[in-house]
Amino acid sequence: MQLRRNLVYLAIMGFGGAGDVLLKRGMVDFGAVDLHHPLHVISALANPWILVGIVCLTGFFASYLTALSWHDLSYVLPATAMGYVVVAILSRYFLHEQVSGWRWAGILLISAGVGFVTRGPAVTEPKKTEPMAAAKGSQELA
């Protein structure tokens, strides 16, 4: 189960980061869009970079749903934030963006925060209600 869980989180980081970077690459080719012309936005789907980006983001979504079926949202969402590291690295080397020291520092802080979140339980145990308290509450409603 541990290996499967780690593979799902790696898929989330990889597919999410790659999908975002591929969408950006496609939009650089396509140019600016205007929401007042919906057909122009739809025509962006003909760009192969955008199509592959959408496929990657579909993989991200499937992996994300899998992780949510296993763990609490308050655990899954911060753990997926490691995708910021993937995006920064891919943006730097694939898109040739200049990633400033401040951005790297922010990514480092996010990564440290993820470390704190992963120290706690992945699933919160539901609160157990006392049978007497539940019965008393239903009598008050009547």
**Against a cut of 0.85, is the pTM above it?**
no
What's the DSSP call for residue 45? Answer: G
| pLDDT score of 142 | 52
- Identify which of 116, 85, 79, 98 has the alpha carbon closest to the alpha carbon of residue 20: 85
- The pLDDT tens digits for 42-76 are 888 888 999 999 999 999 999 999 999 988 888 88
- How far lies 134's CA from each of 94, 119, 124, 126, 127, in Å? 58, 33, 21, 15, 12
Q: Cβ atoms within 10 A of the Cβ of 7, count?
A: 12
What's the DSSP call for residue 123? Answer: S
- The pLDDT tens digits for 5-43 are 889 989 998 999 999 999 999 998 887 887 788 888 888
76: exposed, middle or buried (Cβ count in 10 Å: 0-12, 13-18, 19+): buried
Please give the distance of CA 124 from its chain centroid, rounded to a whole number. Answer: 20
| pLDDT score of 60 | 95
| pLDDT score of 75 | 80
| Tokens, residue 122 | 């992945």
Please give the distance of CA 102 from its chain centroid, rounded to a whole number. Answer: 22
